[in-house]
A and B are shown apart, each in its own frame.
Chain A
Amino acid sequence: QKEVEQDPGPLSVPEGAIVSLNCTYSNSAFQYFMWYRQYSRKGPELLMYTYSSGNKEDGRFTAQVDKSSKYISLFIRDSQPSDSATYLCAMRDSSASKIIFGSGTRLSIRP
């Protein structure tokens, strides 16, 4: 079983729709959870950071962590064509320095 699983997509939705992106993980020691956005041939750009379980909102983005289910989500409200990118979940445990990435979900927002 992979440490972090993420559906690669592609996911295509119309402009204005609510987008739900998800990751599951197997390591119960993960405490820090991040979502990155990556445009083609560019570096990952940090979108959201959450510590342990709970919700966090930032503008049109909401991150959720459910540690009991080992499941994290990113919701994008009022999606825009400029949101079209690959979204990467990433996570870290408190004893390690590195973060582990999911494989990324390709998202396309249709005008």
Chain B
Amino acid sequence: EPEVTQTPSHQVTQMGQEVILRCVPISNHLYFYWYRQILGQKVEFLVSFYNNEISEKSEIFDDQFSVERPDGSNFTLKIRSTKLEDSAMYFCASRSGTGNTIYFGEGSWLTVV
């Protein structure tokens, strides 16, 4: 069964460092998402991406965050200068052009120290 894959599964970084989280969405899906979940809290929307541009973003997705689809298969989330409060599980997700269900990856656990 097709799945969303994410790397790395866990990353520890120092405050102020740049981090790039990588995702390979399901092949032929057209909508791409990043969500995050701080430990013990709800899954929160960060950004959605369609047709090579951001279609929607939340208040959390400030200037420190950016997304990119550098080629036909990868979708990345960059955090420019990490803060302690960026420590969370980051989930990539994708949806087909005709479907209404969103499929999630296993997540990248980011720890900022």
Contact = CB atoms under 8 A, between A and B. Distances in A.
B103 A101 contact: no
Contact of B33 (A46, A51, A98): A98
Interface centre among A38, A99, A101 (most CB of B within 10 A): A99
A43 B104 contact: yes
Contacts of A92: 100
Interface string A73-104: 00000000000000010101000111111111
Given A101-B42, A102-B42, A41 B48 contact: no
Query: Shortest 8 CB-CB distances between A and B: which pairs?
Result: A43-B104, A97-B48, A103-B42, A101-B43, A43-B106, A98-B45, A44-B104, A32-B100
18 contacts: A34-B102, A41-B89, A41-B107, A41-B109, A42-B106, A43-B4, A43-B104, A46-B101, A46-B102, A46-B103, A51-B100, A92-B100, A97-B56, A97-B95, A99-B45, A101-B35, A101-B43, A104-B43
Interface of A: 32, 34, 36, 38, 41-46, 49, 51, 88, 90, 92, 96-104
Given A43-B105, A44-B43, A98-B48, 20 more contacts: A36-B104, A38-B43, A41-B89, A41-B107, A41-B109, A42-B106, A43-B107, A46-B104, A49-B100, A49-B101, A51-B100, A88-B43, A90-B102, A97-B33, A97-B55, A98-B56, A99-B45, A100-B45, A101-B35, A101-B43
